Amino acid sequence: MTDSSLPGNLRVRPNIADLLGLLAIMAGAVIIATAGRHMLVPIPASEAGTIHLNPAWLPAYAVRTTLRMFAALAASLLFTFTYAVWAAKSRRAGQVLIPLLDILQSVPILGFLTFTVVFFLGLFPGRMMGAELAAIFTIFTSQAWNMAFAMYQALRTVPPDLEEAALCFGLTPWQRFWRLEVPFAIPSLVWNTMISMSGGWFMVVYSETITVGNTDIALPGIGSYVGVAIEQRNIWAIFYAIAAMLAVILAYDQLLFRPLVAWSARFQTDEGTTLAAPDPWVLTLLRRTHLLRQGCLRMGDMMTRIGWLPLGSRPSAPRQPLVPSRLLDIAWIAALAVCAVTIGWKTWTYGSTHYTMAQVLHVIMLGGITLARVMVTVLVASVIWVPVGIWLGLSPRRARRAQMAAQFMAAFPANLFFPLVVVGIVRWHLNSNIWLTPLMLLGTQWYILFNIVAGASSYPGDLLEAAKNFHVRGWLWWWRVMLPGITPYFITGALTASGGAWNAAIATEVASWGDTTLSANGLGAYIAHATVAGATDQVGLGMAIMAAFVLMLNRALWRPLSNYAARHYTFD
């Protein structure tokens, strides 16, 4: 052994930090294996209908819920790196995939559960695996669309100078994707992954308490714990569930997302949007390890080598295609037209035999009521959180704290607030059509706050300093300086908040506390009642009408506003 090799061997000797990390990895492996074993047992043996409200059961329930959340997150990442990449790379595929993604995003999450429970239970008859997959898929539908849109937008907005540099270096499509496009998309993808996790928590009660027609299964988890606590009017169990949720969110925020945010800052192309922050304690602890740090470095080297594989053809002089592009476009449009006509004809045939015109008009009227409720909710959330978000975003320290607090609050299911609202409405004989509406803010306000804080944080400091030097204050400062600068961020937040409000309508237009159930007139209540009754025809009609409303609202209002803001209120 040479003297030069001795220090290297000393550096990879495990220390106390390595021991702690290895113990944590082993504990995680045991937990995952135990949860996987419970997924394979028969439904009767799993006590699927028995949820214990003793807080001693909450740690096990929290673990089961967290594993479902991360299983859905893994599926969402796989979907993002396939579907979104295909849509961004292929112009013709994007013409179909992006509108389809817009439709999928507008479909209420509870609607997916109605049609997928029977499918997944049929795949594993009599086993908990089917119910678990149905719950994971429901959580997946609350995470995947947002992440896919973030990846698509990032791939479509790679700076031209970086694209030119990749071309000059002769990178193949595989190398350009992993060495340029993915690193450019990482900051946006990490941030939207955090938001998607919060969205998954918002619907966790409905994903773990499966009630569709005659199918009634309660999967062990925090969501089903909350559902049983509401049925039994156990307010202390609600408080225990809140404490468990806070603990879980704090744990994965500190162990996973804080390190990911710090790591993603390495890929920021605009230094002005990066908030100065100390390294998370998890990264500090990892740097103090010897064995784990070496293992992470070796894994990073292996991933780097994979990214540099010369797969695909290198850029060269353009070649004349065998078939002219115009002919391919004509054939593609003709194929799409045939598919659209076929789908339209099948839909008309099915609808004419299952629905009456009066029934369709009634559901459209309910959709109009929910539309009015959504717009009022977005307006109220904007009035409250735009000034607060600007105040928070102008200070890096306040912005960091606000983002963490908003992440916690965004994860709270609306059901946790049902006791207060239902008891108040019943006690003071209030109108449920009006006083159930504030619950919709839970699915709306945090998207606006997230984006306003991000917009104020990235506002150019030299412009703020110039406004200060010119003594621009009061309303003039708001209307001429700050509000125009955050308009693109506000439009993005309002668009996503609108979609969140439509999905939250199902959870908030029907509120229960024990034997007391309150319902507001609207499309969300219509879909929720049809889901419980197992009326798939009514669920399908409600989902179609809601998707149509969301698409029309996006095309007629949010998309034009977004394009206008991008043309007039962006900093070049």
Q: Is the pLDDT of residue 47 over 50?
A: no
The whole-number average pLDDT for the span 556-570 is: 82
For 313-381, the three-class secondary structure string (H helix, E strand, C coil) is: CCCCCCCCCCCCHHHHHHHHHHHHHHHHHHHHHHHHHHHHHHCCHHHHHHHHHHHHHHHHHHHHHHHHH
Q: Is the pLDDT of residue 33 over 70?
A: yes
Range among 345-354, 360-369, 467-476 rated most confident: 360-369
pLDDT for 426 equals 78
Range among 208-222, 333-347, 410-424 rated most confident: 333-347
SS3 571: coil
Q: Is the pLDDT of residue 11 over 60?
A: no
pLDDT for 364 equals 94
pLDDT for 524 equals 85
Q: Is the pLDDT of residue 154 over 50?
A: yes
pLDDT for 9 equals 46
The whole-number average pLDDT for the span 23-27 is: 79
pLDDT for 73 equals 92
Q: Two tokens at 8?
A: 């290297």
pLDDT for 379 equals 93
Q: CA 526 to CA 370: how far, in whole Å?
A: 11
User: Strands (DSSP E) along 412-491, which ranges?
Assistant: none
Amino acid 177 reads F
Predicted confidence band of residue 45 (pLDDT cuts 50, 70, 90): very low
Q: Is the pLDDT of residue 44 over 50?
A: yes
Predicted confidence band of residue 368 (pLDDT cuts 50, 70, 90): very high
Q: Of 221, 200, 199, 217, give the one whose Cα is nearest residue 209.
A: 217
Q: Are 191 and 203 in contact (CB under 8 A)?
A: no
pLDDT for 89 equals 87
Q: Is the pLDDT of residue 4 over 60?
A: no
**What mean pLDDT, rounded, does the chain reach?**
80
Q: Is the pLDDT of residue 572 over 70?
A: no
Q: CA 411 to CA 409: how far, in whole Å?
A: 5
pLDDT digits (tens, 9 = 90+) for 53-82: 899 999 889 988 998 999 999 999 999 999
pLDDT digits (tens, 9 = 90+) for 262-285: 888 788 765 444 445 567 878 888
CA angle 47, 48, 50 (to 5 degrees): 65
Run of H or E including 212: strand 209-212
DSSP string, 55-115: GGGHHHHHHHHHHHHHHHHHHHHHHIIIIIHHHHH-HHHHHHHHHHHHHHHHS-HHHHHHH
Predicted confidence band of residue 369 (pLDDT cuts 50, 70, 90): very high
In angstroms, the Cα distances linking 41 to 36, 132, 192 are 9, 11, 35
Q: Is 146 exposed, middle or buried (0-12, 13-18, 19+ CB in 10 A)?
A: buried
